[in-house]
Structure 1
Amino acid sequence: MLQQIRKLFDQIGRGESVEVQTEKDVRMISAALMAEIATADQKVDERERSALVRLLREHYQLDEETARGMVEQALTERHEATSLYEFTQTVNDNFSERDKYLLVKQMWEVAFADGEIDAFEEHLIRRVSELIYLPHGLFTRARAEARDGGLTE
């Protein structure tokens, strides 16, 4: 999965025409960023894995098998990513402010899934929020809503 994302970025960088389904790429990037949160503390709790699958299913209307496959691929191939910039640039190019907010909220939901926020998880979410230019007020709102299980978007 991440190799496909890297190939996309290489094509863009060379100015080649890119034959890509944006929706699929956005889903893969969302899965990859959420997988980074799940693995930030060097362990993947089953509750975090379940949260990843649930969030992908709900947000992108995926079936269980597709969502599980994306999560497993993202978790398996996460070490191939060279930097957050690879992902956040695509987020900046393709996500509205609302979509960025929802992504950060989902990242917080994954972080909260195991009942504790690791310092690495918080740092990573904060860093992604900065790189995608999410206003601080929306960052804190996303955290509060994810922590409280809020359904407001």
Structure 2
Amino acid sequence: MLQQIRKLFDQIGRGDSVEVREEKDVRMISAALMAEIATADQKVDERERDALVRLLREHYKLDDETAQDLVTRALANRHEATSLYEFTQTVNENFTERDKYLLVKQMWEVAFADGEIDAFEEHLIRRVAELIYLPHGLFTRARAEARDDNAG
């Protein structure tokens, strides 16, 4: 997946300023990590895909077509991922603690979207939270808020 993401960055980044390229990198990393949650149980429920699109659209202020395209690319390229460490390194270099909290909350929202939390989804979110050094209190708060948002 990382090779595909790099190729995608090369294609969409030509002519962009450094700031714009970095923002696109951050969006792709967020989409890729959320796509991993959507596929952790070996199936992508339509509700999870819809949640992915909605979260990217709202958080990054994207139009629907751009968010759909980002999700499609993230889901299609996820098989080429070599390591969570490369994703989380980018997160650690570019995200504030609040951004990290929001990413983990969004990952929980994708996991809750189909009405059930798979053990693989939970394990993956927990692992990402550890790798991005999100304090445990914020991890549990993100889960609780995502659960409450999903219930309401």
TM-score normalised per structure 2: 0.88
Equivalent residue, structure 1, for 2:130? 130
CA displacement at 1:6 relative to structure 2: 4.4
C-alpha change, 1:23 and 1:4, in structure 2 (3 Å) is: farther
Is 1:75 aligned to residue 91 of structure 2? no
Q: Percent identity?
A: 88
2:105–2:142: 8 Å Cα contact kept in structure 1? yes
CA displacement at 1:4 relative to structure 2: 5.2
Structure 1 unaligned spans of 5+ = 9-17
**How many correspondences in the alignment?**
141
Distance 1:104 1:123 in 2: 12
Distance 1:19 1:110 in 2: 28
Equivalent residue, structure 2, for 1:107? 107
1:108–1:146: 8 Å Cα contact kept in structure 2? yes
CA displacement at 1:92 relative to structure 2: 0.1
Is 1:23 aligned to residue 23 of structure 2? yes
- SS of the equivalent of 2:114 reads coil
Equivalent residue, structure 1, for 2:95? 95
The list of structure 1 runs, each at least 4 consecutive aligned residues, that deviate by more than 3 angstroms after superposition, is 4-8
- SS of the equivalent of 1:149 reads helix
The CA deviation string for residues 73-124 of structure 1, in whole angstroms up to 9 with x for no partner, is 1001100010100100000000000000000000000000000000000000
Is 1:84 aligned to residue 78 of structure 2? no
2:35–2:75: 8 Å Cα contact kept in structure 1? yes
Distance 2:146 2:81 in 1: 26
Equivalent residue, structure 2, for 1:116? 116
1:6–1:86: 8 Å Cα contact kept in structure 2? no
Equivalent residue, structure 2, for 1:14? none
Equivalent residue, structure 1, for 2:145? 145
Structure 2 unaligned spans of 5+ = 9-17
Aligned residue type for 2:110: V
Q: Which structure features the higher share of helix residues?
A: 2
Distance 2:36 2:65 in 1: 21
Distance 2:75 2:140 in 1: 26
